[in-house]
């Protein structure tokens, strides 16, 4: 790139950058991103700490004589159970639920020890925490009752029925496997969303300038290559600023989660996301920048090929599909971060900007694989930018019919 092109690109990049960061939507999204990240830390912790505590239920035991032990189990979980008469009619209990006197009622049949069906009816029956806690407490009480009737002491039964301690740490960091999965998925989704958003933004800007003939005035003042480079650089700069703010605030929130959760009266035991290190943030930003340059160049070429917004919706489909393929392939990375499919897909430049940071956070990529993926993406980005610049140079001043594949190849051969 010669000095004149670089100077023109810098002027256009500055205009594009300021035009975007000064909009109210940029400010709103920049603020909403960190709020969403804090919410992902706080809300699960609050839900986990609350559980089904305080649920008021009636227990109608038709003769199995497990109501009192079950009530004690539920009280240990901070429920508020009440054992009512065995002959209490269902209509009476439903009326109490309708009046919000209780949250629900549990009907235990006389043959519950012989696999009779226990039924819970309530306004919180769809609450998964309620269902899980109630099922576990009921299973434990029934198992103990069966053991006692068979002549086994409650102490021995409690020892036999005690659940095993189970954890799934993810190597090499040792964080919870599920926690690491959520963090990797969230980062990959943010990269997909931001790349698509800013890439399409470049295309629409090109189409708008072309359809309004503003581009003809710009082309008389600077070279088309400078116009494209400047536009992509300005949009990429705005995207980097926004994503950097999101990641830095997200990393701080994860690092100081205990103090953050304490402000909301929650415990860090319910928080699932592991902290983000400096290396993690650097990898995410590096791949995002290259991915944004890669796809913004493709979208800029699409914008130069068409003459109006309607045509651009169809012409952008192949580029968008490449991004979507990467998005729907995330399961291949999360299922086996060190597997063959993950190794191949994170080396392909169409998908590595989203999938390699995810694989790195999951601990599935070695340093050499990370550098190899980065090098391939750098080379591919240079090739795509140069090809897009040739298409942009010819297409930006052409109107009418969209070029076919043969004509695009001819444009790419121009020097």
Q: Which residues contact 279 (CB under 8 A, 6 or more apart)?
A: none
Q: Phi and psi (nearest 5°) for 271?
A: -90, 130
* 151 phi and psi angles, rounded to 5 deg: 95, 10
Q: Is 251 helix (H, G, I), strand (E, B) or coil?
A: helix
- 3-state DSSP assignment of residue 324: helix
Q: What is the pLDDT of residues 38-58, one digit of tens each?
A: 776 676 666 655 556 678 899
pLDDT of residue 50: 54
Residue 350 and residue 325 in contact, taking contact as beta carbons nearer than 8 Å: yes
> Residue 397 above 70 pLDDT?
no
Of 219-223, 313-317, 376-380, 384-388, which range is least confident? 219-223
> Is-contact 16 234, C-beta < 8 A?
yes
Tell me if 312 sits within 8 A of 203, measured CB to CB. Answer: yes
Q: What is the CATH number of domain 51-161?
A: 3.40.190.10
- 251 compared with 163, residue with greater pLDDT: 251
**Strand ranges inside 159-300, DSSP E:** 169-170, 175-176
Neighbours of 246 (CB within 10 A): 20
Confidence at 1, pLDDT banded by 50, 70, 90:
low
More confident residue, 246 or 166: 246
| pLDDT band for position 217 (cuts 50, 70, 90) | low
Provide the 8-state DSSP code for 57.
E
Q: Residue 370's pLDDT is what?
A: 92
pLDDT value at 223 more than 80:
no
pLDDT value for 241: 85
Work out the mean pLDDT of the chain and round it to a whole number: 79
User: Does the pLDDT at position 378 exceed 90?
Assistant: yes
Report whether pLDDT(374) > 90.
yes
Instruction: Say yes or no to pLDDT of 167 above 60.
Output: no
Percent of the chain at pLDDT exceeding 90: 11
Q: What's the start-to-end Cα distance of the chain, in Å?
A: 14
Q: Give whichever of 158-162, 181-185, 283-287 has the largest mean pLDDT.
A: 283-287
| Phi, psi angle pair for 104, to nearest 5° | 180, 180
- pLDDT per residue over 308-367, tens digit each? 777 777 888 888 899 889 888 888 888 788 888 889 999 999 999 989 988 888 888 888
pLDDT of residue 372: 95
Say what the pLDDT of residue 270 is: 47
pLDDT the model gives residue 26: 82
Between CA 411 and CA 119 the distance in angstroms is 71
Q: Is the pLDDT of residue 166 over 90?
A: no
pLDDT at 347: 93
> How far is 389 from 51, CA to CA, in rounded Å?
57
Confidence of residue 379 (pLDDT cuts 50, 70, 90): very high
CA 297 to chain centre: 25
3-state helix, strand, coil in the chain (%, to 5): 70, 5, 25
Give the confidence band of 178 by pLDDT, cuts at 50, 70, 90. Answer: low
Taking 90 as the threshold, does the pLDDT of residue 377 lie above it? yes
What confidence score (pLDDT) does residue 15 get? 80
| Percent of the chain scoring above 70 in pLDDT | 81
With beta carbons less than 8 A apart as the criterion, state whether 67 and 75 touch. Answer: no
Return the pLDDT at 218: 65
Burial string for 152-178 (b: 16+ CB within 10 Å, else e) reads: eeeeebeeeeeeeeeeeebeeeebbee
Determine if the pTM surpasses 0.75: no
Domain ranges of the chain: 3-46+176-413, 51-161
pLDDT tens for 106-151 read: 999 988 888 888 889 888 777 777 888 888 889 888 888 888 878 7
């Amino acid at each position: 790139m010669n000095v004149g092109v670089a100077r023109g690109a810098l002027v256009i990049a500055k205009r594009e950058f300021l035009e975007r960061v000064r909009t109210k939507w940029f400010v709103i999204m920049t603020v909403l991103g960190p709020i969403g990240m804090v919410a992902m830390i706080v809300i699960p912790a609050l839900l986990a700490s609350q559980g089904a505590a305080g649920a008021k239920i009636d227990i109608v035991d038709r003769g199995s004589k497990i109501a009192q032990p079950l009530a004690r189990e539920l009280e240990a979980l901070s429920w508020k159970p009440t054992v009512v008469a065995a002959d209490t009619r269902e209509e009476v209990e439903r009326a109490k639920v309708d009046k919000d006197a209780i949250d629900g009622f549990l009907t235990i049949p006389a043959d519950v020890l012989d696999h009779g069906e226990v039924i819970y009816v309530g306004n919180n029956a769809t609450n998964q925490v309620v269902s899980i806690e109630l099922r576990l407490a009921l299973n434990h009480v029934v198992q103990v009752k069966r053991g006692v009737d068979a002549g086994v002491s409650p102490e021995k039964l409690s020892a036999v029925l005690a659940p095993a301690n189970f954890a799934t740490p993810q190597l090499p960091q040792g964080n919870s496997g599920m926690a690491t999965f959520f963090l990797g998925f969230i980062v990959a989704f943010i990269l997909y969303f931001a790349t698509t958003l800013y890439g399409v933004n470049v295309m629409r800007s090109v189409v708008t300038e072309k359809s309004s003939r503003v581009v003809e005035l710009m082309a008389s003042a600077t070279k088309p290559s400078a116009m494209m480079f400047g536009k992509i650089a300005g949009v990429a700069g705005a995207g980097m600023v926004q994503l950097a703010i999101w990641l830095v605030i997200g990393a701080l929130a994860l690092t100081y989660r205990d103090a953050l959760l304490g402000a909301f009266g929650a415990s860090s035991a319910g928080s699932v996301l592991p902290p983000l290190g400096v290396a993690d943030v650097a990898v995410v930003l590096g791949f995002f920048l290259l991915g944004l340059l890669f796809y913004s160049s493709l979208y800029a070429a699409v914008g130069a090929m068409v003459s109006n917004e309607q045509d651009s919706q169809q012409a952008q489909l192949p580029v968008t599909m490449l991004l979507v393929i990467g998005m729907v392939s995330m399961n291949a990375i999360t299922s086996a971060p060190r597997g063959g499919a993950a190794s191949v897909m994170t080396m392909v430049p169409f998908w590595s900007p989203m999938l390699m940071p995810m694989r790195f956070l999951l601990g599935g990529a070695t340093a050499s694989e990370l550098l190899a993926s980065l090098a391939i993406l750098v080379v591919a980005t240079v090739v795509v930018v140069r090809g897009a610049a040739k298409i942009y140079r010819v297409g930006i001043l052409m109107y009418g019919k969209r070029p076919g594949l043969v004509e695009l190849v001819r444009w790419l051969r121009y020097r």
